[in-house]
């Protein structure tokens, strides 16, 4: 099957935001009186909606979680957003897909205002028809809701669309909207997490994305 519409997750799929996100979470936790010196323990925050992650991993109430999100953004919007790296081979992948006549979109739970900055910072904007992200109030933070909004707004046929992402939330969101999906193993979802979500394809590297037929 040749999919003419390709949706890309951002964090862990197009770019590696490890340093910026974990330091931003660390900053938010310190504001809440929690010191976490091991940034590797904060890696699960990469990908899922932030508010839910603070509730899941630190048992914050909904109000406490929103306070933590606001604190996170204090650090992220000035510093953490730039503590990021583009994965090697991404421009070549996007160039190839674009040359095949496909329409490319970003579909991220990250607020769109920040996603736009990241895409611009890495000079990736020319590859994408549009960037879709959540709103600062949490609207469309759920990947399923976001993908549905994107499909409806762009008038995309589900059967002609595929989602590429590194976490189970990308796969689950794609399934909720009856679109195909590719799990990438170079990001922040474990092999076990992705396998359990059962994507249509699995790729361990950007190079494999270039090599497979989808």
Active site residues: 9
Q: Residue 182 pairs with which residues in a beta bridge?
A: 164, 201
Q: Is residue 197 a contact partner of residue 174, using CB atoms and an 8 Å limit?
A: no
Residues facing residue 132 across a β-bridge? 107
d(CA 155, CA 172): 21
- CA 181/CA 21 separation, integer angstroms: 25
The DSSP string of 107-144 is EEEEEHHHHHHHHHHTT-GGG-SEEEEE-TTSTT-SHH
Phi/psi of residue 84, nearest 5 degrees: -150, 155
- For residue 74, the tally of other CB atoms under 10 A from its CB is 14
Instruction: Dump the DSSP string for 169-200.
Output: HHHHHHHHTT-EEEEETTSSS-HHHHHHH--S
């Amino acid at each position: 099957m040749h999919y003419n519409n390709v949706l890309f997750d951002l964090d862990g799929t197009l770019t590696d935001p490890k340093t910026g996100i974990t330091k931003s979470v660390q900053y938010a936790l310190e504001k809440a009186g929690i010191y976490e010196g091991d940034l590797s323990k904060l890696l699960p925050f990469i990908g899922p909606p932030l508010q839910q992650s603070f509730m899941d991993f630190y048992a914050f109430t909904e109000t406490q979680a929103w306070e933590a999100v606001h604190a996170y953004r204090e650090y992220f919007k000035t510093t953490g957003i730039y503590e990021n790296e583009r994965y090697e081979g991404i421009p070549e992948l996007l160039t190839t897909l674009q040359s095949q006549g496909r329409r490319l979109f970003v579909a991220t739970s990250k607020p769109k205002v920040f996603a736009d900055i990241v895409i611009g910072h890495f000079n990736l904007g020319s590859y994408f028809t549009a960037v879709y992200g959540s709103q600062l109030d949490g609207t469309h933070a759920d990947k399923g809701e976001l993908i549905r909004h994107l499909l409806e707004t762009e008038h995309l046929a589900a059967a002609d669309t595929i989602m590429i992402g590194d976490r189970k939330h990308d796969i689950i969101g794609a399934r909720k909207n009856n679109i195909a999906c590719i799990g990438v193993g170079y990001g922040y979802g474990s092999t076990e997490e992705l396998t359990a979500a059962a994507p249509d394809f699995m790729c361990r590297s950007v190079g494999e994305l270039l090599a497979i037929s989808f």
